[in-house]
Amino acid sequence: MSRTSVTAHARLHFGFCNLSLARERLYGSLGVALDRPSVTVTASPADAVDCDHPTVRKYAERAVDLLGVAGADVTVESAFPRHVGLGSGTQFALATLVAVARAHDRHADVRACAPDLGRGGRSGVGVATFEDGGFVLDAGHPTARFTTDRPAVGQWSVPPVAARHPIPEDWRFLVVVPEAPAGPSGDAEDRSMRSAVESASPEPSDRLAGVVLRRVLPAITEGSAERFGAAVAAVGRLNGSWYADEQGGVYRPPAGELVAALDDDPAVYGAGQSSWGPSVYGVTDADRAAAARAAGRAALDAAGVDGRVLVVEGRNRGAD
């Protein structure tokens, strides 16, 4: 047994393939792993759980129960903000699980344990990027199994990976994180998702099927950042039609202003909102990275909000 650190990385969530109860599969999400920002969790064997971080402490307590070990001394070494659309919750949960397991010389089946940590109940992108990185399309859940409410914690399976592709080395992702209220989470997110699913028209899902099959997958396969950016931006706009009543428009303010500004900049091939936001992404490449960063800063200025601007690489491997 030994002290173990696990570093897990952010992801972008471009949207779902279907929210309509009229179709056979519910959800089905698309996303990419990012090289940064990241979270690092360190664990050492102990006789009980000791952790100063309230959220991670809960994950550590659950991990100890799942693994059948006495306890762990768990420390958060680095983090990025929660509920901003970059997936910190899943990465924290899984990093904690694996750190505690490795500290006790145990193996943790991340995909099997994720539901017991409350993760993978809708999207499987966070679990899949923790495992192996890359671009991920998951298969969603059977609609008859989920309907408007997901099952109780631990009573679902993480959606299987339907397609995974490496992210080309010269692609870059602009990430703009405005200083704005955090996106919904917990019970508030459950209520918003339930409302969106109950009222979702099947028409966007039929259009999304064509966008994913004829635009997104060919673009990532052929390595075209320009076509990929335009395609995932279309995915985001179609998703926004389902969420408009829940988030105040196709994008959650101030994401709409940021997306509009980035769409007008030639350094950005396509822009959208990641998950519930407020983070906004733009697809670009290494040659346009500096110009894309400037575009992100200009978008914040035009919207009259402060925030953080990053240009990062994709990540084609899982957690360290």
Residue 132 lies in a domain: yes
Q: Residue 183 has what pLDDT?
A: 79
User: What tokens appear for 136 in the block?
Assistant: 């991920």
Name the pLDDT band for 220 (thresholds 50, 70, 90). very high
Is residue 152 scored above 80 in pLDDT? no
Calculate mean pLDDT across residues 170-199.
Answer: 89
Q: Residue 60 has what pLDDT?
A: 98
Residue 81 lies in a domain: yes
Model pLDDT for residues 244-254, shown as the tens digit of each residue = 888 889 999 99
User: What domain count does the chain have?
Assistant: 1
Q: Residue 145 has what pLDDT?
A: 75
Q: Residue 147 has what pLDDT?
A: 62
Q: What is the CATH number of the domain that holds 51?
A: 3.30.230.10
Give the C-alpha separation, 265 to 291, whole Å: 9
Sign of the four-CA dihedral 197, 202, 203, 208 = positive
Give the C-alpha separation, 19 to 220, whole Å: 24
Q: Residue 54 has what pLDDT?
A: 95
Give the C-alpha separation, 33 to 8, whole Å: 10
Name the pLDDT band for 18 (thresholds 50, 70, 90). very high
* Alpha helix positions (H), 141-254: 143-146, 186-199, 203-211, 217-222, 225-247
Give the C-alpha separation, 1 to 251, whole Å: 47
Average pLDDT of the chain, as a whole number: 95
Instruction: Answer with the residue of higher pLDDT: 43 or 193.
Output: 43
User: Worst-scoring range by mean pLDDT, 43-57, 107-121, 141-155?
Assistant: 141-155
CA angle 33, 294, 35 (to 5 degrees): 15
Q: Residue 219 has what pLDDT?
A: 98
Residue 320 lies in a domain: no
Name the pLDDT band for 150 (thresholds 50, 70, 90). low
Residue 270 lies in a domain: yes
Q: Residue 139 has what pLDDT?
A: 97
Residue 319 lies in a domain: no
Q: Residue 126 has what pLDDT?
A: 98
User: What tokens appear for 188 in the block?
Assistant: 């508030």
| 8 A C-beta contact, residue 4 and residue 102 | yes
Model pLDDT for residues 248-300, shown as the tens digit of each residue = 899 999 999 999 999 999 999 999 999 999 999 999 999 999 999 999 999 99
**Residue 222: CB partners within 8 Å, gap ≥ 6?**
none
Domain that holds residue 304: 4-313
| 8 A C-beta contact, residue 66 and residue 116 | yes
Residue 78 lies in a domain: yes
Residue 224 lies in a domain: yes
Is residue 158 scored above 80 in pLDDT? yes
Name the pLDDT band for 47 (thresholds 50, 70, 90). very high
